Structures are given as structure tokens and as C-alpha cells.
Structure 1
Amino acid sequence: MAQTAFGICSALSGPVITSNNSPDAISVLKRMPLVLLWTWINVLIFDLANQRLPSSIIEDSINKAWRPIPSGRMSACQARRLLLAILPVAILITFYTGGMEETIVMNTLVYMYNDLGGADENFVVRNLINAAGFICYSAGATRVACGHGQFSLNEKAYQWLAIIGGIVFSTLQMQDMVSLRSKGRVIDHLD
């Protein structure tokens, strides 16, 4: 939801960070369902890719047992199959809504993060992948909110996105603070 709000607000900012000199609020707000769809399908891809791996299932069974795989509502194989079905759907959706480049880069980052173990390599690699992902989510949501092919991000937008990426890159390791125990449950992340 935060990236949807970011995209809508960025599109409404007009020439501050887009090529649209006078954005029409009604037109931008009418694109909100498309921005929500774009954001949702990309988050779904990440979630399926991230939660289907054996190490994630073990972690989730301790910390987030309500999720579909540890709760037994879905198997890792079913999640993989759903992921395989969703990927081409996402590409098709982004072809029509915009943000295709960001979706392709994010899917590459998701593969690097999960399947290639980029999140496990070291904190710099993990933080870099996450920062790039945040930049893609923000840029993609903004492109969709601006209207596919109508307006683009300007140089100031990319400067702003670099700042966001820098913040994520330099602070993400805070989630790795020592686990806390609460009523017998291990809490590994502050999310």
C-alpha cells in the first residue's frame, strides 16, 4: 500500500518529479486500481518466491505459522507452480499498465535474493538487492500512476529514488538485531 501511495503522490507532484507539467488529479486517481494491481502482483511474486524455500518454511513455521505453507494450506510445490503461472501474467499486466522494466528488474532481484542466495551472501549484497527493489517498486508504481506512455520520471525523480535506495541500503541491517522472546515465541524480525 505504501508504494501505491508513493506512486499516486509522485504522479500528482507533476513537474517536481515527472514530465507532466500539470497533472489532472482525477486522471491520476482513476489509475489507482492499476497501481494497486501492479504493486500487488509484484509483491505476490516476491512472497511466493521467498516463502517457498525450505529455510523460509522453517523460519515461518516458528515466526509466522499462519502463512499458507507452514500452516499446511499450500505446499512449497504448489507455491512454485503458482509462481510459474503468475510470472507471465505479471509481464502481460505490466505490458499494458506500464512499469514493465521495473517488474523485470525486480524479478531478477527476487531470483538473486532467494534462489541464488544473495540474501545469505553478506549484508552488503542483501542490502543492495533490497535497496534496488525499493527503487523499482517506487519507480514502477509512479510510472503506472503517471499513465503508461503518457509521462515519465524526470532527473529529480531518479535523485529522489537514489536517496530512498541509500536509506534502505544503510538501514536494512537493523532488522537483524538479536532475536527477542515473547511468550515463548521467537521474534526474528521487527516487521
Structure 2
Amino acid sequence: MTAPSPHPPSPQPPVSTTARTEAQGGDRRLPGDIDMWVMVLGDLFFFGCYFIVYMVFRAQSVEEFSAAQRHLHIGVGVVNTVVLLTSSLFAARAVIAVREGALDGARRLLWATGGCGVLFVLLKIYEWHDGLSHGRTIHDEFFSYYYVFTGLHLVHLALGLLVLGVALRELRAVGRQRPTIVEQSVLFWHMIDLLWVVIFALLYLMR
């Protein structure tokens, strides 16, 4: 008979059965759940209809739209695009960190994601203020689309920041973290990033 060890094993941090099961699921499922995917696909369809309407009206007034586009700050648009792409990188790495059990690292990455989102909002407010101060309002057809697209996107981004806050709160629940909550928040954030890339291409780049 083997004598018991005089030093008992050190206690391990509690890990919920749900978290363990979800982590083991790994690559065998889509991230998030069906409800979030329905919401994301519905939003993409909604924006897609708006994009089609914009393309139709732009085709009817190409010169007017192109002249108005020249008043946009392409540099600010590029910086905002880089900021959101960087935020999506942080968000994706947060999901990986959660699956590996590195919860402190995941929290830091989600904070960085949110920080990029706040920076995007500040840059967009600056751009709006500059445009409105120079008389570029919704009475101009191009800028009416500009304010609608970027305004709806900002609403979604604000909601995305709220969802990230929910994910951060989830990660503070010691012993019962649910990786799917983080995955769902990151999935929604990626949708926000994708929408901005399309908006940036339509409003800033297309001539």
C-alpha cells in the first residue's frame, strides 16, 4: 500500500461544468447561439436594403454625390477603420483567451476592444461637428445618407459597448463563467466592424 503524501495537492480554481463543456466543444460549433445569429443576419439584411437604395440614388446623381464626397475627411475615415479592425482583433483574442481559461487576459482584451469603440465614437463626433459647422446637413442628398448610415452604425456601436459590458460582468462571476456570452458579444462586435467597412467603402471610397 502506498503511503499518503504528506503534502495535499494545491486547490484548483473552480471551473463551472457549463464552461468546461462549452470549451470542449471547441471548433465543433459556431460561436454564440442561434438567437444572436438571427439578430446579426437580420441587421445585415436591414443595412443591405439601405445600401441598395443608396446605390440606386447614387447612380441617378453620380456627379452630385461625388462632389459631396470630396468634403469627407478620408484620413479620419481610414483611422476609424483601422481602430475598428484593431478592436475586432482584440475581441477575437478575448474569445481565445476565455476558451483557454485565461480570464484576466480576456478581460483586458475586452477593455481594449471597448476603448477602441469609444475612440471611434469620439472621432465620428468630431467628423459630424466639422460637417455640420460647414453647413453640410441632411438637406444635401449625399449627406442625408451619410448621417443616416453613420448614425445607425453609432447606435449599433453603443449597443455593442453595452454587450461588451455584459461580457465583462460575466467574466467576473467566479466559477460559473459562460464562454458563449463572450462569444455572442464578440460576434455582435464583428458585425459592427463589417458594417463600418461597407459604409466606409460606399461613402468614402466609391467614386
- Structure 1 and Structure 2 fold alike (TM over 0.5): no
The structure carrying a bigger helix percent of its residues is 2
Task: Find the structure with the greater CA-based Rg.
Answer: 2
Q: Normalising by structure 1, report the TM-score.
A: 0.32
Q: Normalising by structure 2, report the TM-score.
A: 0.30
